Amino acid sequence: MKHSIRRQMIAFFVTAMAVSFAVIAIINYGFLAKFYHSQKIKTLKSTYAAMNEIFASESDDYAAKLMQISVQDNIEMLVEDEGLESMLFSTSREARDLELRLFGYYTGFYREKIDVLEETNMYAVQETSDRSISISYLEMWGQFDNGYCFLMRTPLEAIENAVHLSNMFYLVVGSLVVLVSVVFISLFSKRLTKPIVTLTDLSQRMANLDFEAKYGEKAGNEIDMLGENFNRMSDELKDTISELKNANNELQRDITEKEKIDEMRIEFLNNVSHELKTPIALIQGYAEGLKDDICDDKESRDFYVDVILDEAGKMNKMVRQLLSLNQLEFGQNQVQMERFDLTALIQGVIDGMKLIIGEKGACVTFDRKDPVYVWGDEFKIEEVVTNFMSNALNHLDYEKRIDIRITEQDGVVTTSVFNSGDPIPEESISKLWEKFYKVDKARTRAYGGSGIGLSIVKAIMEGHHQKCGVRNYDDGVAFWFTLDARER
C-alpha cells in the first residue's frame, strides 16, 4: 500500500524526531546565548548580594570569602573605599586599569562605548569591551550598603564558545539518533500494522459509543491481550460510564485539595528550614570553638556560651510560636469567651514590659482609665496586645513614642498601638500577616524575630471572628484589632 501504516509510522516518527531536533537546534542557536547572558547577569546580582552581606557582617576574613566567590563564578572584582581613595580588595592583574575604569564611571569621564543593560540606585549592569585585549565583558559597578565602591566583570567570550560547542555537540548527537531511529522503527513496525488497524477501528467505534464492537484478530503477541481487554472494556464501559464521570469529578476535587496541601507543606518546610539554618550554624560554630579551646579566657568562653544560649532561645521561641499557630489554625485551641476589662489588660501588659520599655528609651502613652468591658478570650487577647507592643518596641524610631488608644463605635471596640518610625512599604502591607514574612530581615534577625507573631495575631482574631490590620502614618505605624463590647 502506498499509504501503509508501516510507512506512515516510519515517516511520522523520523519526521517528528528530525523536526524536534531542528526546532531545538534553532532555539539553541537563537536563545542559548541570551539565556547564558541572562544567567551571568543573575550571577553578578547574586554575587553583589553575597558581597553586600559579607561587608555588612564586618567579617575579618572577607578577602578569603570574596576570593572564593571570584574563583567559583569566574568574576574579576575590585573594591575601594567610599571616596575611591584606596583599593581594599582586587582579584585582577589589571587592578590599576580597573581602578581607572571605576573612577571614570563615577566621574563620567569614561568615553568608551557602554551598553547599559540595567541600572538601579545602587548599581549598574552593562556590556563593555576592552580594546587592548579585544575582549567583551559583562560588568557591574556601584556601591554597597556600607558605602564601599566596587567593580565586577566577567568575560563574554567564554559564553559564546560554550554556546557554539553545545550547539555542535547537539547537532552531531541528534543526527546519529535520527539515523538509528530509522533502522529501529523499520524493523519493528511491520509486525504491529495489521492488529493496530483493527484496534484503531475498534477504538473509533467505541469512541462513537458503539460498545458492541469486538476484537477478532490473532497477532500471537501482547496485542491479542490488548484486544481482549478492549472486548471486556466494551462490555463493562456501558454500565460504568456514569460512575466514572462522578468518580472523575470527585477525584479532581481531591487532587486540587492535595496539591494545595502539598504546596502549603513545601512552603512551610522551606520557611522553617530557612529560619533554623542561621541559629543552628551559629550554635554549631560556637560549640566547635568551645570544644577546640579557642577561648583562652573566661570572658570569651562566657561570650560563646551566651551566643549559644541566645540562638537556642530564639529557636525555642520559634518552635513554641509554630506550635501555638498550628493549634490556632487547626482549631485545636478553642476560644474561651468571657467578659473582661480591656483597660486593665492593656495596663497589665504595659506594667509587665516596663523593663524593656526603659531599655528602649520609649515613651508609652495610654490615657484610658475607665473600664472597657469586651467579649473574648482574655489570655489570647493579652497575647495579641503583647505582640503589638513588642513589635512597636522593636521598630521604634525618631521620637520613640508609643500611643495606645481605645475607641468605641456601635458596640465595637477598636484598640490601636502606634509607634513612631518609618512607615511600612505599601507592597509589604498585604504580606505582613503571612507566616515567616519579614519587611526588614536584618532588623528582625537582630531582635530575634521569626515573622510568626503577626500570623498568630491574625489566627487569634479570626478565631474571635473579629478584625485586625495596620495603618501607615507619615511619622509611624499603627496596628489595630477589634472586639465585641455589646452585652449579651
317 C-beta neighbours (distance < 10 Å), count:
15
Q: Kindly report the average pLDDT of the chain as a whole number.
A: 79
Which tops the pLDDT comparison, 12 or 362? 362
DSSP tag of 297 = S
* pLDDT(271) > 90: no
The pLDDT, as a whole number, for residue 114 is 83
Q: What are phi and psi of 396, to 5 degrees?
A: -75, 140
C-alpha cell at 417: 498601638
Which tops the pLDDT comparison, 112 or 3? 112
Instruction: List, in sequence order, every beta strand (DSSP E) within 46-147.
Output: 76-80, 87-90, 115-119, 123-130, 135-143
Instruction: Give percent of the chain with pLDDT exceeding 70.
Output: 76
> Cα(185)–Cα(10) distance, rounded to whole angstroms?
6
Contact in structure between 329 and 459 (CB atoms under 8 Å):
yes
The pLDDT, as a whole number, for residue 171 is 75
Give pLDDT tens digits for 131-166. 666 778 889 999 999 899 999 998 876 656 666 777
**pLDDT, mean of residues 364-387:** 90
Name the band, by pLDDT with cuts 50, 70 and 90, for residue 445.
very low
* pLDDT(324) > 80: no
Least confident of 69-78, 257-266, 277-286: 257-266
> Cα(93)–Cα(467) distance, rounded to whole angstroms?
62
Which tops the pLDDT comparison, 193 or 404? 404
Which tops the pLDDT comparison, 158 or 23? 23
Which tops the pLDDT comparison, 387 or 302? 387
**pLDDT, mean of residues 272-284:** 62
Give pLDDT tens digits for 326-355. 655 555 557 788 999 999 999 999 998 898
H/E element, 419: strand 412-420
Closest alpha carbon to 133 in 76, 77, 89, 94: 94
Which tops the pLDDT comparison, 225 or 358? 358
* pLDDT(464) > 90: no
> Cα(101)–Cα(129) distance, rounded to whole angstroms?
12
> Cα(17)–Cα(23) distance, rounded to whole angstroms?
10
Contact in structure between 150 and 141 (CB atoms under 8 Å):
yes
Closest alpha carbon to 38 in 167, 187, 163, 129: 163
> Cα(359)–Cα(373) distance, rounded to whole angstroms?
32
The pLDDT, as a whole number, for residue 159 is 59
